Amino acid sequence: MLVADVAGSYFRLEHLEAPAPEWMPTFSLPVTLGGFELVEELGRGGMGVVYRATQQSLNREVALKMILPGRLASQEQRDRFQHEAEAAARLDHPGIVPVYEVGELEDCPYFSMKLIQGETITTLVQQELFAVKKAAKIVTEVARAIHYSHNQGILHRDLKPSNILIDQQGHPHITDFGLAKHSTRNSELTQTGAILGTPSYMAPEQAAGSRGNVGVPSDIYSLGAMLYYMVTGRPPFQAASAMDTIMMVLEQEPVAPRTINPAVDRDLDMIIMKCLQKPADLRYSSARELADDLDAFLTHQPIQASSGRFGHVVARWLGETHHASVLQNWGVLWMWHSLVLLLACVLTNIMFLADIENRLYYSGMWTLGLGTWAAVFWMLRQKLGPVLFVERQIAHAWAASMIAIGLLFPIEYLMGLEVLEAAPVIGLISGMVFMVKAGILTGKFYSQSFALFATSVVMAMVPKYSLIIFGVVSAICFFVPGYLYHQQKTAR
């Protein structure tokens, strides 16, 4: 995930999430438009305004949502507004605000909804933090409503405290399906590279724009972020700008809720943190599963989040981390690196077989030669876009390994060893580097790490061809993942 990808979508995100513009026309209330009498403004946002209104034909109080007048609203906004109405109208659940009617009033698209007498979670938290069990109960109901929505093929994609209304009986109602997406087809409203949602409550894959795979786990992340806010008074990530918040979502781990509010039960803390896992496959597999775990917490039963089953542990160790997407930037470079490394190893072994004992040649090959390639590698990587912090971490581990290998030759001399007698250590150093990569990027690299550790043993057993053996194995270790991640990038 490149900073450039986020920046490319920044205007789009800011445009959707910005407060309502001051020039947005207002009505002198009360006023009658069409068959509705608009009585009171309930709220407004970047796409429109919501009024409390009376549907005169039925003498029914409704919430009427209107988009900006036609000359000011883009076609995309009008399409998205229509999409929101259609998505909500398909859903019939007590936890989802129902849509009654869709139409236009004086060239302003609108739809009417059930009027919920209550406040948003945001408003309530600003007054006072929710009691822990009350917050868990509310999110349980929201999760079951979202599970119903998912079963109907609708992803919400913008779950946040301001989109949940709590009625006078304390029950939640989900509103604002403006970013909803049918889970079985790609919407034309979701453009490649677009970042849609509210940064503090969006999942990492959603914040990653076109690189992410937004699905059911994305809504589960948002549910966890919302529960986090209800019991701590702040979202998991919040910065001075939307861009900075997105980078926090992508790069940082949230502070545990119990650290902020000691009243949060340990089990609820684990449930929230499970929702907020950056790899989507480590979250709950469905909103119903989350709701069931919250029910277990409320009834003092064992929760799934603390089960620690062996299969889950193995999956976590072997799965990709949220940093793995950077490997798509390295695909071609790793393939080239495998060839350069193989060439260096073959030439080194040829010099050894030719009885060249001057260690300066070997040291020059592995310091000046590979050092020059490292500089070229890094220059090529920088041309692909801004370098992330995690890439600098990996680069430091790689640089440390090159320094260690370069020092092997003078150390051999100082210890009175023959040329390349310490060569098996190169396999150990390389195995350690891949072990670091496995922990930071993907557990798949454990196989490369163990292969290189085993190679060091073989190198000790067959010293005559040790560098050729190492060159072949290490080249495969770089070429295979490089090719696979390059294929992923070209398939996007």
The model's pLDDT over 271-318, given as tens digits with 9 standing for 90+, comes to 999 999 988 888 999 999 999 999 999 999 988 876 655 556 666 677
In angstroms, how far apart are the furthest CA atoms of the chain? 100
> Is residue 79 annotated as a catalytic residue, yes or no?
no
- pLDDT at residue 247 in the model: 86
Q: Assign 1 to helix, strand or coil.
A: coil
pLDDT digits (tens, 9 = 90+) for 372-399: 888 888 888 888 777 777 888 898 999 8
Q: Assign 71 to helix, strand or coil.
A: coil
118: part of which helix (H) or strand (E)? strand 118-120
Nearest to 189 by CA among 214, 165, 164: 214
From 5, 158, 219, 269, active-site residue:
158
CA angle, residues 179, 182, 184, in degrees to nearest 5: 145
pLDDT digits (tens, 9 = 90+) for 329-359: 889 999 999 999 999 999 999 999 999 989 8
How far is C-alpha 112 from the geometric centre of its chain's CA atoms?
A: 34
As a whole number, mean pLDDT of residues 51-76 equals 79
Nearest to 47 by CA among 71, 67, 27: 67
Least reliable range by pLDDT among 13-27, 215-229, 256-270, 472-486: 13-27
H helices present in 152-256, as ranges: 204-207, 216-232, 242-251
**88 pLDDT above the threshold of 70:** yes
Separation between Cα atoms, residue 387 and residue 389, nearest integer Å: 7
Q: Which CATH number fits domain 16-114: 3.40.50.140, 3.40.47.10, 3.30.200.20, 3.30.413.10?
A: 3.30.200.20
What percentage of the chain reaches a pLDDT higher than 70? Answer: 85
- pLDDT at residue 424 in the model: 97
**481 pLDDT above the threshold of 90:** yes
As a whole number, mean pLDDT of residues 353-373 equals 88
Strands 108-114 and 172-174: unpaired
**255 pLDDT above the threshold of 90:** yes
- pLDDT at residue 14 in the model: 40
49: part of which helix (H) or strand (E)? strand 48-55
Give 104's pLDDT tier (boundaries 50, 70, 90): confident
**48 pLDDT above the threshold of 50:** yes
Those residues with Cβ within 8 angstroms of residue 364's Cβ, 6 or more apart along the chain or in another chain: none
**363 pLDDT above the threshold of 90:** no
Residue that the structure tokens 């004086």 belong to? 106
Angle between helices 132-151 and 287-298 (to 10 degrees): 150
Separation between Cα atoms, residue 53 and residue 193, nearest integer Å: 38
Those residues with Cβ within 8 angstroms of residue 127's Cβ, 6 or more apart along the chain or in another chain: none
- pLDDT at residue 449 in the model: 97
Structure pTM? 0.70
Nearest to 228 by CA among 258, 189, 197: 258
Over the Cα atoms of the chain, what is R_g?
Answer: 29
Query: Which amino acid appears at position 234 of this protein?
Result: R
- pLDDT at residue 13 in the model: 47
100: part of which helix (H) or strand (E)? strand 99-105
Q: Assign 91 to helix, strand or coil.
A: coil
Indicate the average pLDDT of the chain: 84
Q: Assign 50 to helix, strand or coil.
A: strand
Separation between Cα atoms, residue 441 and residue 369, nearest integer Å: 27
Query: Which amino acid appears at position 99 of this protein?
Result: V
Domain ranges of the chain: 16-114, 118-318, 324-491
What single DSSP character describes residue 69? Answer: P
Fold exhibited by the domain 118-318: Transferase(Phosphotransferase); domain 1 (1.10.510)
Give 367's pLDDT tier (boundaries 50, 70, 90): confident
